[in-house]
Amino acid sequence: MFLGVNDVPRDEPGRVFVLCNEAIVRAAIEADVKVVSAYPGSPTTEILDTFSSVAPKFDYRMEISVNEKVALETCAGASMAGLRSMTSMKSVGLNVASDAFYSLSYTGVIGGMVIVVADDPTAHSSQSEQDGRYFAMSSYIPMIEPSDPQEAMSMVKSAFELSERHGVPVIIRTTTRVSHQSGMADFGKIERKSFAKLAWDHHPGRFVTVAETARTFKLALLERTRKMEEEFDKSPLNIIKETGSDFGIITSGAGYNYAVDACSILGLTPSILKLGTTYPIPRKLIAGFLKRLKTVVIVEELSPYLELHVESIAREANPTIAIHGKRNGIFSEAFEYNTNIVVDGIATTFGVQKTINYSAILDKAKELKNGLPNRYPTFCPGCPHRASLYALRQALKGVKHVVATDIGCYSLSILEPVNYGDTLLCMGACIGVASGIQYAVNEKVVAIIGDSTFYHAGIPGLINAVHHGDDFTLIILDNEVTAMTGQQPNPGSDVGAGGRPSKPMILENVIGGLGLEDITIVDPYDLKNAVVAMKDALTRKGPNVIISRRACALHSDRQKRRKGEVIRSNEVAKEICKKPYTCIRNFDCPAISINDNDRKAEISEELCDRCDVCAKICPFASIHLREVE
């Protein structure tokens, strides 16, 4: 048995304990994928990272794209030519790619194309609990849902074949608990053909959707969907576990795992229909399953997507069946499920006695938490964003202002203890929002965005602001990488996927090319000068830009370790410290705490990476470089 990402490129078949996202990559490699393009976004980031880490061992072409739209379009072009391609993104990433996505359903593809889309119930790392299943239904693009790594392996391979058989991209839909689930999977033998470019088959209008061709494409995709529904009615990706009970469960994805566990706990043996193909819905299969039942429970997270389809099918198949799910209040449309929630829902439906009182356990847990301090997500020790925000707030002291912020590590500023920021919508939105706010308020308007997010979706907003002469200051936090998702390279980096050299964009040159000349560059670690420069820039009429440039602390430390450099740390001179707690109250670095004995500040040697900002704000100069023993 093999373990983990290092075994993804292994040639020999075998049972592997693997993350589901890694299983998706392995399956694509076994399916001879030739072009991969993606933008990082949890819970799919490990797909991109795994493809990137093993890229030197294979001949596929890979890009870490500027955003999801470009990633999807890159894969579309490759598959239009006849190569197999894969892209991955989180649910809100498909919003960005949706323009190309809907048109691609019309034009179709030649080479197999798989789009991995992960929903994020409970919004662990997203700004909404978007249900991506409706993208499939509204676009007429087929969708398949695995529940575990083994199913991910088989379904990805099936998706490539389905894509080529019907000439359409196929969605592999996961959720956070499926993407990040580890389990056993059977790796097959890797048998890949050498990468070779193809001759373009010139057929005018073949991939052009406009006017009459669009109408022709629509009729063709409707017929394609009808044929796929017939195929899905007989697909082995849908599994019925028949027990003869008149009580049944219909479920898919992570819901299946919860339902099986819940029934085991309750001692119930219902018939279960596990749907692996969730668009187009296999109506005949579902109808046949419903005919034998008196009661069916629908276990699905987020919207009542399956439930509404089941209700529609039941009107003819079994009008008297009792359908339980979200619409009668058994389950909620909010947040992700777990076994406890599904146990409660099924037990309530059938009046079954629960063997475990989960509510009492949760109440006890809440009671035990009383008195414990809240631990909010926070910036890493040495994070330049902490210093940038500190400098910004010093520069704006006494100035009434509004802050439109964006998606990235700096989003943490909205949480305690910083509590700084007024709006946050989606990737790149802060610039357009700031343009609107400056029309409506008297206060100084500031927008904050990261370098990766700026390249992803911020440039059009800045073009608009420059063109209209909008009065606000844009602060771009340039830390060299896409830090929040794991330090992946972005267009400002000099390397791309797999460590391949890439041409870095020079941020100030890009901005200057838009016709904006008022650009200020600061180093947030050089705190005094950064505050002075920011204060000066913020007094000028916008649009203008402040670039706060310093490498991500985690990325920088990682690079230093690879080079064998020693990472030094600071310490507090206890004889000088007068306990003003400026370093804790105003800077909130997790490397700094209060000693229980003398109640003075102390700095963790293991966490501190000596950004030195705390030393610069200490009013008694009590922080200095730690002596090497």
d(CA 242, CA 255): 18
Q: CB under 8 Å to 565, separation ≥6 — which residues?
A: none
Find the angle CA(15)-CA(21)-CA(27) to the nearest 5 degrees.
55
Q: 3-class SS at 150? A: helix
Mean pLDDT of the chain: 95
Overall average pLDDT of the 1-7 stretch: 57
pLDDT for position 585: 87
Please state which architecture CATH assigns to domain 566-625: 2-Layer Sandwich (3.30)
CATH match for 384-560 among 1.20.210.10, 3.30.1280.10, 3.40.50.2300, 3.40.50.970: 3.40.50.970
Model confidence over 366-420: pLDDT tens digits? 898 888 888 888 899 999 999 999 999 999 999 999 999 999 999 999 988 889 9
Q: Name which CATH class applies to 2-191+208-233.
A: alpha beta
Domain locations in the chain? 2-191+208-233, 239-367, 384-560, 566-625
Q: Which amino acid is at 460?
A: P
Overall average pLDDT of the 77-91 stretch: 97
Q: What is the CA radius of gyration of the chain?
A: 27
pLDDT for position 374: 80
Model confidence over 583-628: pLDDT tens digits? 998 888 999 999 999 999 999 999 999 999 999 999 999 999 998 7
Q: Cite the DSSP H helix spans in 61-129.
A: 68-81, 91-107
Q: CB under 8 Å to 529, separation ≥6 — which residues?
A: 522, 523
pLDDT for position 362: 87
pLDDT of 426 > 70? The answer is yes
Least trusted range by pLDDT, from 18-27, 137-146, 209-218: 209-218
Residue pair 251/299 in contact by the 8 Å Cβ criterion = yes
pLDDT of 61 > 50? The answer is yes
- For residue 128, CA distances in Å to 45, 325, 343 come to 18, 22, 26
Overall average pLDDT of the 105-129 stretch: 96
For residue 233, give both structure tokens.
């009615």
pLDDT for position 2: 41
Nearest to 600 by CA among 624, 616, 570, 580: 580
pLDDT for position 3: 45
Identical fold at 2-191+208-233 and 384-560?
yes
Q: CB under 8 Å to 376, separation ≥6 — which residues?
A: 412, 415, 416, 417
pLDDT of 1 > 70? The answer is no
Local confidence band at 4 (pLDDT 50, 70, 90 cut-offs)? low
Nearest to 257 by CA among 335, 334, 182, 338: 338
d(CA 391, CA 484): 21
pLDDT for position 416: 85
Overall average pLDDT of the 187-206 stretch: 93
DSSP 8-state class, residue 456: I
d(CA 395, CA 471): 18
Q: Name which CATH class applies to 239-367.
A: alpha beta
- SS3 per-residue string spanning 562-626: HCCCCCCCEEECCCCCCCCCHHHHCCCCCCEEECCCCCCEEECCCCCCCCCHHHHHCCCCCEEEC
Query: Please, what is the angle between helix 283-290 and helix 212-233, to 10°?
Result: 40
pLDDT for position 5: 62
Nearest to 252 by CA among 291, 281, 283, 294: 281
Model confidence over 427-481: pLDDT tens digits? 999 999 999 999 999 999 999 999 999 999 999 999 999 999 999 999 999 999 9
176: left (phi over 0), alpha (psi -120 to 50) or beta: alpha
pLDDT-above-70 percentage for the chain: 99
Q: Cite the DSSP H helix spans in 167-252.
A: 176-179, 212-233
